[in-house]
Structure 1
Amino acid sequence: MTSSPDTVTSPGRSEGTQNRNPRATWGLVVGASLISTGLAAYEIVPASVTPVIRDSLGIDATAAGLLVGTMFGTAVVASLPTGALLDRMNTRTAMVLAVFLLCIAGGWGWVAGQSGNYRQLILSRILGGIAYVAVWNAGIDIVSRSVGPDRRATAVGVFTASGPVGFALGQGGGPLVASHFGWPAIFIVFVGIALLGLLIFWPTSRGLGHSSGDAPTLSEFGAVLRNREVWLVGGLGFAGYALYLFVNSWGGPYLTQELGLSVTVSGALVAVFPAIGIFARTSSGLLSDRVFAGRRRPIVLGSFVVATPLVLSFTWLQSIPVLVAILLVTGFAVQLTLGLSFTYVRELVTEQVAATAVAFQTSVGLAGAFVAPIIGGRLVDTGGFEVAFLVAGGVAIGGIVLAWMAPESAPTRG
């Protein structure tokens, strides 16, 4: 008999986890992280050469922005169905199929770019969005099951650091690839990273394709969506991703338009905000597992407590060194939540629906990422940067409230 997902139960280990070679376990983490890194780079890379793409295809800024935004939108819609499917299939096989989809999407995008077909390019990005969300959800699921509860947040934190690593590779490598091979090549070059990751992941993930227990019933799946605690942690993800994308999108324009810095300098300064996530996301699990004895709530609460005054004060300060320091500290604080929330949410449900809970977290979080730049732009147009950052600070305050209300996860409960 399986317990209801409404019951807070510590997910059991997958078959074979207890006897796994530590080298194989970390090989799995590295392989899955490389796959995700390749997809994250593919996701963001059009943003690095937007002017070139606009000139080549003759499109406006909104149309060019959709080349990135389409993947976020697709992930929001596809995440929950993907998670439900992952709870019913072999997660290891799902990773292989997702990389295969990425290969198709990358090749399709390259051909569409060469021919100047914008519509086909968007369709290829939709396919890439499905591959991205499948790898993200499946990767968190299988990495979580590859280790015991005492190291789970650490392992997942390392995996989620693949996001900022991929963003950095895409932003920095895209212009170089475009200058040497033409801008359509940006859609295929990072597929190689995912393929390398698959070569490492496949032999090290044997025995971890299926979670322990039966596939979830429709009633168990529905119970995840009715679980108040899952919604609270989902809200934390929404607030965290909204802040992350808001600052990524509008921090640079603020430095350019209000402080008179060049676009190049502003971009370089704001780049510290996502880049610090490499350390934040890996350390979030380590802090939770080692310093707070497996408790997740103190980390996410502290994340928003630190970020709130910094976001609210951003437009009141004129010193560039101080603003860079604020970007570093805020980026670190916000991404502590982004790294930990996926471990947090899966520990609030049973193993049978863990992938569904992670997919829910992905969908809600990326919804915040999708709407924040759009609403932020509207606020900048109508009220200026001060109003926009004030509203962002309000979102951070909301994160404090949600974190205060959130429960402790299963490993710390008696």
Structure 2
Amino acid sequence: MDTSVWVAIAGLFLLSTAAAAYEIAPASVAPTIMGDLGIGQARAGWLVSVMYAVAVATSIPVGAALDRTDLLRAVAAAAVALLVAGVWGWVAATRGDYLGLVVSRMLGGLAYVTVWNAGANLAGRAVPPRHQATAVGVFTASAPAGFALGQLGGPLIAGAAGWPAILPAFGVLAVAGIALFWWAVGGRAAGAGEVEPPTRAEFRRVFATRPVWVICGMGFAAFSLYLFLNSWLPAFFEARLGLSLAATGLVVAVFPAVGVVARTGGGVLSDRLFDGRRRPVALASFALSVPVVVALAFVGTVVPALALLVVAGATIQLGIGLLYAYVREVVDPSVRGTAVSLLTSVGLLGALVAPVGAGWLIELTGTYELAFFAAGVVGVGGGALALVAPEPGS
């Protein structure tokens, strides 16, 4: 396969990594932001949450639009919009304009969901079918890579140039990513003319296709587990293991970090070991992760906690990247953008609901065990869906 294809995917990976870093970066300097803007934890948290909310609300319309437009130009426009959002946020932050900062983050959220949905489609289209899950898995590994970059790079940038500088900095990196992608594909239009735009009947059929909803249900379960652990492990380990917040943060950072390998690995396993079958990897992801998630509730020392954390991070994320290749394969080519966007919307809904639901259970019982057990039940539901999920083309 032409090396320019993998250079193009590397450009998409860099673009999406920058977008994810932009999304999470305010969390890395939250105390500084709260002090400078005079806001509390809830309003500071909204600087990250608003991007998830925008993504859930706009993912499906964005996907429908992507099915009718040139994907290359769409993703390039999204990269520029991310830079604009970063500069806008920097201006608002330096002026102490919290509302302006939130609105800029809403534009960033729209740009990110466009990058994510278009990027998954472009990565899948760039390679032959036998490599599709691998390529899409590599692309989706950009999310944990970006989270790691944002969490580690945010404080460094803030220390050197002030915390508002974290916003445009990752926007510049996004433009570098799209430039690399554009150079690799020679500026050719990606998506336009390859398939006819979908009719209204074809668009509606996506929402009436059972395999699509089965895969979306697995996405809801996988993202729920992922965000539940990402959100509550720091507080849980601090309370259970007696670690400092700094040490806890270092330990918990392992969880998304292993996703860079796991999300890529899920696609490689499906394409090579299982000869393009998707269900075995999806089922293994849930079957392996559920007992580990439940076991974490009873851990009492650092070494077992770290071991379980690595296994949980790997097994939960093993199937996430694969689902984005999977959902493209159970619909007509003309509506693949819509199918990917529906999966994004439903998955991120799980990401929004799970931390809140877990917090309610923890407050209700005063312990963490029931929350971990509930997460295990969600994982069992995901595994049950994997059992009945059809293979593409079956």
Q: What's the counterpart of residue 285 of structure 2?
A: 303
Identity of aligned residues (%): 48
Shift of 1:388: 1.1
Tell me, which stretches of 5 or more residues in structure 2 are unaligned? Answer: none
CA contact (8 A) 1:105 1:125 kept: yes
- Tell me whether 229-238 or 381-390 shows the greater mean CA deviation: 381-390
Query: Does residue 166 in structure 1 map to residue 149 in structure 2?
Result: no
The TM-score with structure 1 as length reference comes to: 0.93
Query: Does residue 155 in structure 1 map to residue 135 in structure 2?
Result: yes
Provide, for residues 346-388 of structure 1, a one-character-per-residue CA deviation record: whole Å limited to 9, x for no partner. Answer: 1000100011100111111111111111112122111221111
Query: Does residue 312 in structure 1 map to residue 294 in structure 2?
Result: yes
Select the residue among 372, 387, 395 that pairs with 2:370.
Answer: 387
Amino acid across the alignment from 2:386: A
- Counterparts of 1:93 and 1:199, CA distance in 2: 12
Residue 150 of structure 1 aligns to a residue whose secondary structure is helix
Provide, for residues 241-280 of structure 1, a one-character-per-residue CA deviation record: whole Å limited to 9, x for no partner. Answer: 0100000000110010222110011111111110000000
CA contact (8 A) 1:90 1:210 kept: yes
Query: Does residue 401 in structure 1 map to residue 375 in structure 2?
Result: no
Shift of 1:313: 1.5
Q: What's the counterpart of residue 116 of structure 1?
A: 96
CA contact (8 A) 2:83 2:174 kept: no
Provide, for residues 296-323 of structure 1, a one-character-per-residue CA deviation record: whole Å limited to 9, x for no partner. Answer: 0000100000011111111212121111
Q: What's the counterpart of residue 17 of structure 1?
A: none
CA contact (8 A) 2:21 2:170 kept: yes
Shift of 1:211: 5.8
Residue 59 of structure 1 aligns to a residue whose secondary structure is coil
Q: What's the counterpart of residue 105 of structure 1?
A: 85
After superposition, residues 188-207 of structure 1 pair within 5 angstroms as: 188-205=168-185, 206-207=188-189
CA contact (8 A) 1:233 1:345 kept: yes
Query: Does residue 68 in structure 1 map to residue 48 in structure 2?
Result: yes
Provide, for residues 118-163 of structure 1, a one-character-per-residue CA deviation record: whole Å limited to 9, x for no partner. Answer: 1111101110000000001111111111111100011111111111
- Counterparts of 2:147 and 2:213, CA distance in 1: 28
- Counterparts of 1:61 and 1:376, CA distance in 2: 18
Tell me, which stretches of 5 or more residues in structure 1 are unaligned? Answer: 1-20
- Counterparts of 2:227 and 2:385, CA distance in 1: 19
Q: What's the counterpart of residue 69 of structure 2?
A: 89
- Counterparts of 1:372 and 1:283, CA distance in 2: 25
CA contact (8 A) 2:22 2:150 kept: yes
Shift of 1:203: 2.5
Select the residue among 318, 324, 344 that pairs with 1:362.
Answer: 344
Q: What's the counterpart of residue 38 of structure 2?
A: 58
Select the residue among 234, 237, 247 that pairs with 2:229.
Answer: 247
Residue 105 of structure 2 aligns to a residue whose secondary structure is helix
- Counterparts of 1:148 and 1:382, CA distance in 2: 51
Query: Does residue 371 in structure 1 map to residue 362 in structure 2?
Result: no
The TM-score with structure 2 as length reference comes to: 0.97
- Tell me whether 266-275 or 203-212 shows the greater mean CA deviation: 203-212
Select the residue among 116, 129, 145 that pairs with 2:125.
Answer: 145
Query: Does residue 215 in structure 1 map to residue 200 in structure 2?
Result: no
- Counterparts of 1:81 and 1:211, CA distance in 2: 21
Aligned Cα RMSD in Å? 1.0
Shift of 1:60: 1.2
Query: Does residue 259 in structure 1 map to residue 241 in structure 2?
Result: yes
CA contact (8 A) 2:80 2:175 kept: no
CA contact (8 A) 1:235 1:364 kept: yes
Amino acid across the alignment from 2:170: F
Provide, for residues 4-47 of structure 1, a one-character-per-residue CA deviation record: whole Å limited to 9, x for no partner. Answer: xxxxxxxxxxxxxxxxx612211110111111011000000011
Q: What's the counterpart of residue 260 of structure 2?
A: 278
Amino acid across the alignment from 1:175: P
Query: Does residue 180 in structure 1 map to residue 157 in structure 2?
Result: no
- Counterparts of 1:213 and 1:313, CA distance in 2: 48
Shift of 1:195: 1.3
CA contact (8 A) 2:266 2:322 kept: yes
Shift of 1:213: 2.2
Amino acid across the alignment from 1:368: G
Amino acid across the alignment from 1:394: V
Amino acid across the alignment from 1:406: A
